[in-house]
Structure 1
Amino acid sequence: MNIYLVRHGETDENIKKSFYGDMDSVLTEKGVLQCKRLKIFFQDINISKAYVSEKKRTHDTLELILENEKYEKINVVEDSRLNERNFGEFEGLDYNSICRKYPLESKVWQNDWINFIPPKGESYNQMYNRVVKIFKEIIKSNDENVIVVTHSGVIRSIYCYIMNNNMDLFWKFACHNGDVAVIKYEYENLFIEGINSNSILK
């Protein structure tokens, strides 16, 4: 089984370097180009099933990758568990703005980034647990070639799950817009076969 993890193309909020998960943002011109590069990557791969988050940026990315007849023929599953972390009141703010507006919360966040819950948001640990549940279901489906178009936090969570459930490795993986990782599931063994970076596109 091949599972292709794709981070959506670049958005306006990515350019601003803001924290956002629950809110949505449209793909930039560069984001569209990243998706077109992914289309070339997938052109000879027979995708049997697709999973996306609820966000427009992931749906748009998937449509640009597969396009037209290929997109219409496959089974597309939307699942909220593939959404990015909900940053609550931090949504749309960059790091410096968060530190200025929420100095006390920022200190707690820095001391316990895994379990800290932003006001009206969710922790990385909460996100991780829901992501692992949907990922296990994807594995059980046993489809030959599956594409999962989602977000950096979700993809990093899957990496951590593969690496023996170790969330301490969360920040040890880069995850750029338009990147695609190939995850293999063979003989009840999960492993990362490769991570193809789209970051070289300027």
Structure 2
Amino acid sequence: MNIYFVRHGQTDENNNKYYYGKMDVCLNEKGLDQAEKAAIFLNHIRFDEVYISERKRTAETANIILGNNSKKFNVDKRINEINFGKFEGKSYENIKKLYPEEYDRWCSDWKNESPPGGESYVEFYSRIHGFMDDILKLNRENILIVTHGGVIRSVYSYILDENLDFFWKFASKNGDVTLVKYEYHNLYIDSITHVGI
């Protein structure tokens, strides 16, 4: 099985380096271009299943990738980006100023602490874990999953013996295409391609 992960194209919030996950925003001009480049990169593949998160930015990216070959998407809330709670839509500098104690607690125990009104990384990872367990049960040749940077980096942790510290060992740029293969009960990262730069 070939599982293609695509991080959605850039948004203004990405460009401004805001913390955001639950916010439902659209792609900006560069993000649309990144999705077009991903579409060109993937245009030779026939996808048996397509999964997206609940956010508009993944639907926009998936629609561009599939073009005239659009099919019904499986919308799965488990692959939504992490919910940053009251940190949503704010820069690092603003968060430090508005929520200094909460931010320090979150940074000191990033796995278990959560932003005010948000979710912890452990809670977030639990969603991804369940999603991946279900994907591996499918009998499909090619699956497309259009989702978010935090989700994709969590998938890498899932592959690498569920070591959550690997979350910080990979980048995930807007428009990136990652091919994960599942063969003979072995799951591995085959390639990570920066197509949207």
Q: 2 CA distance for matches of 1:194 and 1:103?
A: 39
Output the CA distance in 1 between the equivalents of 2:104 and 2:128. Answer: 26
Distance of 1:171 and 1:196 partners within structure 2: 18
- Which deviates more from structure 2 when the two are superposed, residues 1-10 or residues 112-121? 112-121
Contact 2:41 2:195 in 1 (8 A): no
How many Å separate the matches in 1 of 2:39 and 2:101? 45
How does the TM-score come out when normalised to structure 2? 0.98
Identity of aligned residues (%): 49
- Counterpart pick for 2:170 among 169, 173, 177: 173
Equivalent of 1:106, from 99, 103, 114? Answer: 103
Equivalent in the alignment of 1:25? 25
Q: Is the 8 A contact 2:10 2:28 kept in 1?
A: yes
Amino acid across the alignment from 1:115:
N
Task: Report deviation, 1:11.
Answer: 0.4
Q: Which aligned segments of 4 or more residues in structure 1 are displaced greater than 3 angstroms?
A: none
Q: Verify the 8 A CA contact 2:80 2:151 in the aligned structure 1.
A: yes
| Deviation of 1:142 (Å) | 2.1
Aligned to 1:145: 142
How many residues align? The count is 197
Residue segments in structure 2 that go unaligned for 5+ positions in a row: none
> Could you tell me how far 1:44 is from its partner in structure 2?
0.7
1:96: how far off? 1.1
Is the contact between residue 180 and residue 197 of structure 1 (CA under 8 Å) also seen in structure 2?
yes
Q: What is the CA distance between 1:198 and its match in structure 2?
A: 2.9
1:161-200 alignment runs, 5 A limit:
161-198=158-195
Partners of 1:176 and 1:198 within 8 A in 2: no
Is 1:52–1:82's contact at 8 Å kept on the other side of the alignment? yes
The 2-side partners of 1:85 and 1:97 are apart by: 19
Give 1:126 shift. Answer: 0.6
Q: Measure, in 2, the Cα distance between the counterparts of 1:88 and 1:109.
A: 12
Normalised to the residue count of structure 1, the TM-score between the two structures is: 0.95
Whole-angstrom distance in 1 between the partners of 2:23 and 2:44: 34
Shift of 1:83: 0.1
RMSD: 0.9
1:159 aligned onto 2:156:
yes
